[in-house]
Structure 1
Amino acid sequence: MTDASSSPVPPVTIHRTAYRPPEWRVPEVALDFALGLEETRVTAALSVVRDADAPAPLVLRGDALTAEAVRVDGEAWNGWRMDGPDLVVDLGDRTAAVVEVDTRIDPAANSQLMGLYASNSMLCTQCEAEGFRRITFHPDRPDVLSRYRVRMEGDKAAFPILLSNGNCVATGEGEGGTHWALWEDPWPKPSYLFALVAGDLVVNRDHFTTLSGRRVELGIWVRAGDQDRTHHAMASLKHSMAWDEQVYGREYDLDLFNIVAVSDFNMGAMENKGLNVFNTRYILADPDTATDADYDGVEGVVAHEYFHNWSGNRVTCRDWFQLSLKEGFTVYRDQSFSAAMGSAAVKRIEDVRVLRAAQFPEDAGPLAHPIRPDSYQEISNFYTATVYNKGAEIIRMMATMVGPERFRRGTDLYFDRHDGEAATCEDFVRAIEDGAGIDLTQFRLWYSQAGTPRIAARLEGDAASGEWVLHLAQTIPPTPGQPDKAPMLIPLRIKAFDRDGAAQDTAEQLVLLDHADATVPLGRFAGRPMLSINRGFSAPVIVDCARAPGELAWLAAHDDDPFARYEALQQLMLDTLVAAVSGEAAERGAVVDAVRETLAGAAADPAFVAEAVLLPSEAFIGDQMVTVDPDAIRRERLALQAAIGEALESEWRAILADPAPPATDLSPAAKGRRRLRGVALAYLGATARDDAPALAFAIFSDADGMTERQAALATLAHGDSDERAHALDIFYQRYRDNPLVLDKWFQVQAWSLRPDTVDAVRDLARHPDFTLANPNRVRALYGAFTANQAAFHRPDGAGYRLLADLVIALDPKNPQTAARLIPPLGRWKRFDEARAALMKAELGRILAQPGLSRDATEQASKSLVG
């Protein structure tokens, strides 16, 4: 098989309105694999049934495949032809047939990591979204569901373990040192859920007993030596299975559930039916090599992929425009699970931070799209924060509006109606409507309109009566292809407090803003009430509300909604920083006092306090400005960080003087204390205190786990002390043979606030341990670098050139990973003319490359238009 990028197909735009049901169904698929790293032979037998009124040829999609032979009902068949990459079989008047196709592929040459590919002498697959067509010819669309029977045979020494979907029904010995296994999956599934893994693996085995008493065998398969790092993943899987039964009533439906960890993987993980394939990053964890955040990531991703068994597999997508049907719903489910496993308040803060960092800029840029897009050129480009994270927020809004009991009735109805079907976003909304008894007609606009709504909130009081009202007005900015928007239905949780305690605080109310503007009565107050709005981040919107620093400080201390307290302190910091960047006088004292008061509650909830006292990111500060000034933002953020560090030095040192909990203690309280220690160290590191580097190095040296060690290394990486170089060398020498931990070494240097970071990244890209072949390593270096705003946006454009050079080099090898790194160049409209011109020039240089993939072409061309 040749790499697809060697013969690029001109981009074709696919439109949602062009959907037509398949003309042929494929109820049964039998696959026979003769496995080899350089050559794998595949025989596919498709039992096809005509589903069209008039005779139509059978069109089987292919990607860089050649059909070596075609048979129909067991006989050689000449009535076939190639139409570009696709195989067209003329079956005449037949309404049913068994079509067999022989293909031959080269997994070792498959650098795209889509289809069947080799990873460290192991064979594995990734078929979502359109990778199955790189294995064999097939309709390869999600609304064609089939039962699969898979036989694979290969060298027993090279591939002692042979895994696929469903249940292993037979095994045996072959000739010449080979062996074989036969797997059958009893549940119909689309081709994107097919999976095969063959290699030398060891397993961590366990079991789970369902509510109905059925025993499910569990296995996590990894390379030898990694087995002891899978226990947290196994515990997370069992917790997920129990939670899904309790909260959604969903039991697992096979007797076997396997997970395989793969080093080279474009995604985080894949929910293939009964055989989940994971990036090793989300399976392997122990205290020495994984941070608390890594442990949380393993737990959340394991849960996400397991929950897909129902929200994605048993009920799948009709077409790829419905991607958020499975992903948005499942992200909401995994967020709810993680909140139940730890601190719900901290989890909500983390989820909103991700949304604002990734999705809000997407909504405000040239790649803005609804969670149900109307068109695409390359579907892999729509695995976006909008589809996933905003999609989850839309599910959350429905749950907020109807409450948990009615939402559960709606989801039960959805699963019951569409089990075994390929459904649409509309099917889900209709099930919630019918199950919960609510009209969601206007709410459907969230599925079709892009952009982040802005809510203008203004308080008004009547001096005579003391009655106060809240005026609300919504606007939705224009986005590409959508210049004008209709008002959305926006659920806002609101509460008003009497600052002086003279009047009764109002009860929280859920306001459904369904017009361009509205007036909400708040009650009677002697003075201006303290407004708590969008509590719990009840809607993914931006709220503009004029507030005095004293109001924000009061809310940060007294609001009874944890997210609202966090939001008030963050807004106080943000207002101070934006004013300073804009050249206005900025009073830092209110921020310092609010941080001091928040720290007073550290003993009760250190995890929440750690999140609340963190300064907003440079990128988020820039999002508040008409024209982003990266250098001024960094200067003022560092100044405020240093001011807080110096003013509260005794508090930070006291936090660090309290010994860290053992790294093996993964309780929410222990993780919170370690998180707060990392924040304290960062604030001290921002000061000019002479002992700060030595303190960080001592913590680095004494750490009994990766959380403390990485926090100290990150603090040192921002400076130029001798301790910095020493720590980086110690870390490298200790972990140079552990790819996942070495990713952290690359990442922490790409995040550095030093002025020479661009040059450092350029040097690291030439390091012997850097490789373009591993997506994790590419993301660790370049993904971190593009998030380092001042470095990436260096005025001379060196950061832009560095990224464009990477995209050009990576695209022929792995277009999916290359394309996902392009969007930061597409935000050129937000920057000054000089930087904008430099970004556009690099986008143009990318587009000028001969043979550029569809993935990169779509991302770069849309980004250039802006």
Structure 2
Amino acid sequence: MSNKTPVTAKRRLDYQPPAYQIHDIELSFNLDDEVTKVKSLLHVFKQGDHDQPLKLDGENLTLIEVKLNGKSLQQYELTDEALTLSNLPDECFIEIYTEIDPASNKTLEGLYKASGSYCTQCEAEGFRKITYFLDRPDVLSKYTVTIYADKKRYPYLLSNGNKIDSGDLEDGKHWVKWQDPFFKPCYLFALVAGDFDKLTQSFTTSSGRKVALELYVDKGMAHRGEHALASLKKAMKWDEVVFDLEYDLDIYMVVAVDFFNMGAMENKGLNVFNSKYVLADSQTATDEDYFNIESVIAHEYFHNWTGNRVTCRDWFQLSLKEGLTVFRDQQFSADMGSPVVNRIKNVKVIREHQFAEDASAMAHPIRPDEVIEMNNFYTVTVYDKGAEVIRMLHTLLTPAGFKRGIDLYFKRHDGQAVTCDDFVNAMQDANSINLDQFKVWYEQSGTPELTVEQDFAADTGTLTLTIQQHTPVTLDQSQKKPLYIPVRVEYLANDGSSTTDIIHLTQSQQKLVRDGFDVEPTVALLGDFSAPVKVIRTLSAESLLTIALHSNDGFSRWDAAQTIYSQFIHSLTPNGSTLAITQETITALLDGLLESAMEDQALLAEMITLPSVETLVQQVPKYYVESLHSAREKLERIIISHAQPMFEKQYHGLAFTNYDYTPSQTATRKLRNQLLMYIASTEQGEELVTQQFMQSDNMTDTLGALKAAQHAKCKCFDKLMSQFEETWRADPIVLDKWFALHASRQSEDILSRLDLLMGHQQFNHENPNRVRSVIGSFAFFNSTGFHAKDGSGYRYIGQYLQKLDKINPQVASRIVTPLTQWQKLDEERIVKMKAELVRLLDNKDLSNDVYEKVSKSLGYQ
């Protein structure tokens, strides 16, 4: 039994508009190492005729004084969570003087100081740690901010909007005043103060306005910011071309900081980024890092319209901005590189992580109904499944129809805080289509399953597909409704030709009848992953091979290859398999792929990569840890035994060239490093791995060699890792790769290794990146170590989380996730995992963040 007092959940249906609005806020900050003084001046208006008090949110604040219309106010109610003022006039000015201690704020929410700089993170409810305010997204205000600080130590004082004034003071301090002309919620407020290297460029908008672009990075890192700035300019241009959306301020600033809970934050005009999503050069960043920087830079920029200009009415509507913006950054990334490989990347996130969330106690719709801690809303369901729902609208309405809907959405709601229904209604009204059933995607949790039967009448050439949709019961919902699901279908003929359809699935069962076939076609379903669903059907090995080798849809080809691998692996476990794929099927697939001279090297790399353990687990009712890993390793040995000569020939045929981040070079490196993953297990492997590591001129090939050595358990692994650490020990962002490789290594002494890693001079328990690279890598990606049969992996994570929760509840809440996903394990492991959850819950000081996940998991049946 938990010692923690039960926490009341917040519910979407309890939403009430604010009783007051704050049209303007003037903030001043006197930044000081001992005590930071904050003054806020609020211009408050009563909403309607009422006599309700004004309850301002506040946490960890020292209240000094409150004034009403310039006069000191003595009558108020103060608690640990709020400042309440009663008997206010219809319009008034409220001044609030508070003191805070940013240096001791280790949660990295609100205003905090780390690595010598001041920084803010206010989403979702961090602004209440800065000053008393209506900390909710539907209170939109115009901000004027003045910052005072020591000029030598903090030469850059930044906030939202445009800089309107500045000056020096006699005591060595200086001040800067910023004004944001746009109404915004307080979660978009930002302040940064520090000493940085600054990169400056400009962008000329389609209407001819010149926008200053400024990037602030740690001293000595300026050369590693060029890619981020180039990515920003690409994103700004793309948004103008594709959506006619132009940037609206005179300046756009990005600041990179190493201590940050999230990837980045879209604060209006002043984006704050985790350094790992800004800093890159060929020596320190992989192709994946380059891709992620380009994607995240674009994502935060796109929020300027989808999130800032139009924001959420309440946090239950989070997917309104995040799902939509993830879809937009995915479209951008597809246009910048390989559309099919980008799509595969998106689908892996859904299948490995979102499907797992749907199958756990934390299952929830993309617009949740209730929550204890708002920070727990930031999930793969809200973000990535939310993006898939937007993508389905894009498919159903066509790109032109989707653009009409976006245009109407901004015309109606610019400058407002709105709901997911408002977005869908704009899409509906702009295209004269009824989307009432489609809205069920926003309210229903779980992963839909499509059961497909195929019948062919040879005498008439008629093909009939019967599709049933079913969404399994989830903890939060026992009743499920039929969804509106677009299913992309491809019919492959024997001569290699194909035709496509989109089935608009709206009923529990539907039939699709198509005539005119001379012989029964091979049918590929869910092309381009047209909906976030699971497809249950029986396809012959011959049909799967036909799709994998001949489909015109790159995703379908990859998916068919993955199905072949998956079914073979599952056939060797107690789960069995609906179709026993033979070893001959595997070799036929490899021969077809490697001998076809595929032009898309990146797609070939994906097609010869085995499904991850995380994906495999979501395909079966039970996760038999030892047998699944053994079966996957057996398939790997079969592949290497058959294809080694072809792998080596391909590897040596891929030229090493001077590094450039281009689609063609990225694809070559991707294929080469996947080939090396296989070759590393052969007699020549040790030599090739070492050779690539020693001769590499870029981090992609360096890390590719290390990953291959780790996976193949090469003798050279420890030696190469020591060289890597010696080279990069002063660069913590690069060293995170070293931490993660060690933490995900399969070894019997992995827990002792984790202890050694956390004793490294660069490891810091207060830095989310360091914690994620070690503890997160172990919990999420070292499945044999985490799921050790004696429960030691669970105990290790549980004990560490008790300490981490006291430092940073947000990070602890994310890392606890693997401990809550016990549902598919064997009974012995379930007992051990639940025991750790009980230990966590039996902690009266447990944060709401962790309490919510743990208590829900233990309540799951």
Q: Which residue of 2 aligns with 1:205?
A: 200
Matched, 1:860 2:830: no
Q: Which residue of 2 aligns with 1:475?
A: 470
Q: Which residue of 1 aligns with 2:236?
A: 241
Q: Which residue of 2 aligns with 1:682?
A: 677
Aligned mate of 1:438, from 411, 433, 438 = 433
| Cα pair distance change 1:58/1:213, threshold 3 Å | same
Q: Which residue of 1 aligns with 2:310?
A: 315
Q: Mind listing any 5+ residue stretches in structure 1 that lack a counterpart? A: 1-6
Q: Which residue of 1 aligns with 2:526?
A: 534
Distance 2:310 2:388 in 1: 20
Alignment of 1:119-198 (within 5 A): 119-198=114-193
Q: Is the deviation greater in 352-361 or in 131-140?
A: 352-361
Matched, 1:44 2:40: yes
Q: Which residue of 1 aligns with 2:701?
A: 708
Distance 2:659 2:434 in 1: 49
Give a deviation string over 1:139-175, Cα, whole Å, max 9, x none.
0100000000000101111111100000111110113
Give a deviation string over 1:225-266, Cα, whole Å, max 9, x none.
110000000000000000000111100000100000010000
What SS class does the counterpart of residue 280 from structure 2 fall into? coil
Deviation, 1:108, is 0.8
Deviation, 1:9, is 8.2
Matched, 1:783 2:779: no
Q: Output the amino acid matched with 2:823.
A: K
Q: Is the deviation greater in 452-461 or in 36-45?
A: 36-45
Q: Which residue of 1 aligns with 2:570?
A: 578
Deviation, 1:789, is 1.8
| Cα pair distance change 1:214/1:802, threshold 3 Å | same
Aligned mate of 2:830, from 832, 836, 849 = 836
Matched, 1:13 2:9: yes
Distance 2:328 2:405 in 1: 14
What SS class does the counterpart of residue 556 from structure 1 fall into? helix
2:492–2:499: 8 Å Cα contact kept in structure 1? no
Q: Output the amino acid matched with 1:580.
A: L
Q: Output the amino acid matched with 1:572.
A: I
What SS class does the counterpart of residue 570 from structure 1 fall into? helix
Q: Output the amino acid matched with 1:790.
A: T
What SS class does the counterpart of residue 17 from structure 1 fall into? helix
Q: Output the amino acid matched with 1:55.
A: D
Deviation, 1:8, is 9.0
Q: Which residue of 2 aligns with 1:508?
A: 500
What SS class does the counterpart of residue 507 from structure 1 fall into? strand
Q: Which residue of 2 aligns with 1:29?
A: 25
Deviation, 1:583, is 7.6
Deviation, 1:466, is 2.8
| Cα pair distance change 1:699/1:255, threshold 3 Å | same
Deviation, 1:661, is 4.1
TM-score (norm 1): 0.97
Give a deviation string over 1:1-24, Cα, whole Å, max 9, x none.
xxxxxx998622100011000001
Q: Is the deviation greater in 442-451 or in 432-441?
A: 432-441
Q: Which residue of 2 aligns with 1:3?
A: none
Matched, 1:562 2:554: yes
Q: Is the deviation greater in 584-593 or in 572-581?
A: 584-593
Distance 1:612 1:358 in 2: 20
TM-score (norm 2): 0.97
Give a deviation string over 1:480-516, Cα, whole Å, max 9, x none.
1211201111000112122356xxx563111111000
Distance 1:602 1:96 in 2: 73
Q: Mind listing any 5+ residue stretches in structure 2 that lack a counterpart? A: none
| Cα pair distance change 1:241/1:120, threshold 3 Å | same
Matched, 1:793 2:793: no
Distance 1:480 1:499 in 2: 46
Matched, 1:745 2:738: yes
Give a deviation string over 1:391-447, Cα, whole Å, max 9, x none.
000000001001011110000000111000001000000000011221101010000
Distance 2:91 2:406 in 1: 36
Q: Which residue of 2 aligns with 1:553?
A: 545
2:168–2:175: 8 Å Cα contact kept in structure 1? yes
| Cα pair distance change 1:576/1:851, threshold 3 Å | same
Deviation, 1:53, is 1.8
What SS class does the counterpart of residue 694 from structure 1 fall into? helix
Distance 1:38 1:444 in 2: 51
Q: Output the amino acid matched with 1:243.
A: W
| Cα pair distance change 1:583/1:86, threshold 3 Å | closer
Distance 1:757 1:576 in 2: 30
Deviation, 1:187, is 0.4
2:351–2:618: 8 Å Cα contact kept in structure 1? no
2:458–2:520: 8 Å Cα contact kept in structure 1? no
Aligned mate of 1:807, from 801, 810, 825 = 801
Distance 1:169 1:396 in 2: 41
Q: Which residue of 2 aligns with 1:4?
A: none
Q: Output the amino acid matched with 1:559.
A: S
Q: Which residue of 1 aligns with 2:352?
A: 357
Aligned mate of 2:450, from 452, 455, 460 = 455
Deviation, 1:829, is 1.6
| Cα pair distance change 1:599/1:38, threshold 3 Å | farther
Q: Output the amino acid matched with 2:801.
A: V
Deviation, 1:529, is 1.9
Deviation, 1:74, is 1.0
Q: Which residue of 2 aligns with 1:525?
A: 517
Distance 1:175 1:51 in 2: 44
What SS class does the counterpart of residue 557 from structure 1 fall into? helix
Aligned mate of 2:386, from 385, 388, 391 = 391
Give a deviation string over 1:161-210, Cα, whole Å, max 9, x none.
10000011111011311000000000010000000000011211000000
1:116–1:123: 8 Å Cα contact kept in structure 2? yes
Give a deviation string over 1:362-386, Cα, whole Å, max 9, x none.
0111100000000000010010000
Q: Output the amino acid matched with 2:615.
A: F
What SS class does the counterpart of residue 125 from structure 2 fall into? coil
Distance 2:502 2:714 in 1: 53
Distance 2:77 2:97 in 1: 14
Deviation, 1:586, is 5.4
Distance 2:67 2:257 in 1: 35
Deviation, 1:600, is 3.1
Aligned mate of 2:92, from 93, 97, 118 = 97
Q: Which residue of 2 aligns with 1:80?
A: 76
Q: Which residue of 2 aligns with 1:662?
A: 657
1:646–1:684: 8 Å Cα contact kept in structure 2? no
Matched, 1:726 2:722: no
2:363–2:476: 8 Å Cα contact kept in structure 1? no
Distance 1:701 1:590 in 2: 37
Distance 1:547 1:720 in 2: 36
Aligned mate of 2:819, from 822, 825, 832 = 825
How many residues end up aligned between the 2 structures? 854
Q: Output the amino acid matched with 1:294.
A: D
Give a deviation string over 1:762-802, Cα, whole Å, max 9, x none.
43233333221110111111221122222211111111111
2:166–2:175: 8 Å Cα contact kept in structure 1? yes
Q: Which residue of 2 aligns with 1:252?
A: 247
Matched, 1:340 2:332: no
Identity %: 42
Q: Output the amino acid matched with 2:634.
A: A
Deviation, 1:655, is 2.4
Distance 1:432 1:586 in 2: 44
Matched, 1:764 2:757: yes
Aligned mate of 1:286, from 281, 286, 299 = 281
Deviation, 1:755, is 4.1
Give a deviation string over 1:605-654, Cα, whole Å, max 9, x none.
10111111110001211222211011111111111112112211112112
1:601–1:609: 8 Å Cα contact kept in structure 2? no
What SS class does the counterpart of residue 818 from structure 1 fall into? helix
